[in-house]
Amino acid sequence: MAEDVITTTGIARHGATRLPSVDVDSFNIELKDEEGFLGDRASKGAFRKILDRWRRPLRKSGEDPFGEEPSDKISKKVLDDILVGDDTEASAIVHSAIEEFAQELAYVTRRFLKTKAWAKTERIVVGGGFRDSRLGELAIARTDIILKSEDFKIDMLPIRFHPDDAGLIGTLHLAPSWIFQAHDSILAVDIGGTNIRCGVVETGWKKAPDLSKASVWKSDLWRHADDEPTREGAVKRLVKMLKGLIAAADTEGFKLAPFIGIACPGVIDEDGSIEKGAQNLPGNWESSKFNLPSSLVEAIPMIGEHDTAVLMHNDGVVQGLSEVPFMQDVERWGVLTIGTGLGNARFTNRRKDNGKDNGRENSKNRDDKKDKDENRDKKAKQ
């Protein structure tokens, strides 16, 4: 099965450490301290536990402004509204939780920066569902200030795209650059422990060869956690979603590439199997008898007139890859994704032409230079 996958894709290895624009120095590191996995101290669930602790004293006196609502059931929107609302006590609770969470995130970040893989990191972007809120943005900004106060020469900022879009747009950076010269879009899949999201991603390559203008044209979301499907049932539903997007893209006249990029939790082996870290997915995705890329190629052997190629990588890596166009002023950078757990990846940019351009832009720049030279020659002859 593994050989079939590699032969069929023919463009790169799944979970590769060397990608068109960056080298992936590390991903999915699981650091521990005396209390357990560090990621558990800076996860979405960790923030809710902290919020609950700050509510506890007021709850005992019967003055909890949140009433009987469990902390894990209060929506991010409600918490965001409280931050700017008139209830100063409720706002103070949320601000206190943000501060404590930022201290935890700073602690975890320091531990990452002390590892060999994260040495000399210059910038960290923070993604995941927690980032998609005002309280998340404040926690990130506070963490940045804490680290700077301790003389860490590093910037920490929220990921640029909406986290849902970043998990799809990042798959563009798994694909070789030649794909973008003949096609204007690709299929992308972002698999999580709760949802599976698929989308048609417009490359925007003609406007920006560094892919900074990429966008999600259309997406489809399935909350598989509600349905509790079997593994085979989940794959079948995924295939149906992808075929629907292929049909929609064809109707709209998109030049869809014969390429499917996949973001998936866990450690992805080069044959497309999942070594570990997929425990929250429906069924056993770590089985030696299961290979998602191979299953998709079998179900969708062609897109348009070409054989389908599939590439899969860790979801934290893929979300981070959406930031590649905006990280060209640094050399080493990382991503932390705050969700059910704490995803992580560290990158080193691959540069050519004395660091002025990355690999993707070079072909476009050469074409532009050729056109300028030809125009100059014509003027000289005239």
How far apart are alpha carbons 93 and 89 in whole angstroms? 6
CA angle 270, 287, 282 (to 5 degrees): 105
Question: Is the Cβ–Cβ distance between 331 and 349 less than 8 Å?
Answer: yes
- pTM for the full predicted model: 0.86
Most confident of 29-38, 232-241, 346-355: 232-241
Beta bridge partners of 22: 349
**Lowest-pLDDT range, 88-92, 292-296, 359-363?**
359-363
pLDDT of residue 10: 54
The token duo for 101 is 């969470």
Note the Cα 203 to chain centre separation in Å: 16
- In contact, 221 and 195? CB cutoff 8 Å: yes
The whole-angstrom separation of Cα 123 and Cα 76 is 26
pLDDT for 4 equals 42
For the chain, percent of residues with pLDDT exceeding 70: 89
Query: Tens of pLDDT along 121-170?
Result: 999 999 998 999 999 999 999 999 999 999 999 999 999 999 999 999 99
Q: Using CA atoms, how far apart are residues 271 and 189, in angstroms rounded to an integer?
A: 18
Q: What confidence score (pLDDT) does residue 311 get?
A: 96
- The C-alpha atoms of residue 248 and residue 199 are separated, in whole angstroms, by 11
Query: Given a cut of 50, is residue 285 above it in pLDDT?
Result: yes
Residue 358: the pLDDT is: 46
pLDDT band at 12 (very low <50, low <70, confident <90, very high): confident
Give the ranges where the chain is alpha helix by DSSP (H).
2-9, 44-60, 76-83, 88-113, 134-149, 163-169, 178-182, 224-227, 231-251, 292-299, 315-321, 359-381
Lowest mean pLDDT among 30-44, 109-123, 221-235, 351-365: 351-365
304 near 324, Cβ under 8 Å? no
Looking at residue 61, what is its pLDDT? Answer: 83
Task: Compute how many other C-beta atoms are within 10 angstroms of the C-beta atom of residue 76.
Answer: 16
Tokens of 186: 């690709």
User: Which of 239, 354, 375 has the alpha carbon at shortest distance from 308?
Assistant: 239
Q: At what angle do helices 44-60 and 88-113 cross, to 10 degrees?
A: 140
Residue for token pair 């920490």: 156
3-state helix, strand, coil in the chain (%, to 5): 45, 20, 35
User: How confident is the model at residue 117, as a pLDDT?
Assistant: 94
Residue 368, Cβ neighbours under 10 Å: how many?
12
Closest by alpha carbon to 215, among 364, 325, 331, 311? 325
Per-residue pLDDT at 3 exceeds 70: no
Q: Return the pLDDT at 191.
A: 95
Q: With b meaning 16 or more CB within 10 Å and e meaning fewer, what string describes 276-307? A: ebbeebbbebbeeebbbbbbbbeebeebeeee
Tokens 């956690």 — which residue?
A: 225
What value does the mean pLDDT take over residues 21-45?
89
- Whole-number pLDDT of residue 53: 96
At 352 the pLDDT is: 53
Contact 128, 343 (CB under 8 A): yes
| pLDDT tens, position by position, 223-242 | 998 898 999 999 999 999 99
* Count, residues in the chain: 382
Question: Has residue 30 got a pLDDT over 80?
Answer: yes
pLDDT of residue 7 exceeding 60 = no
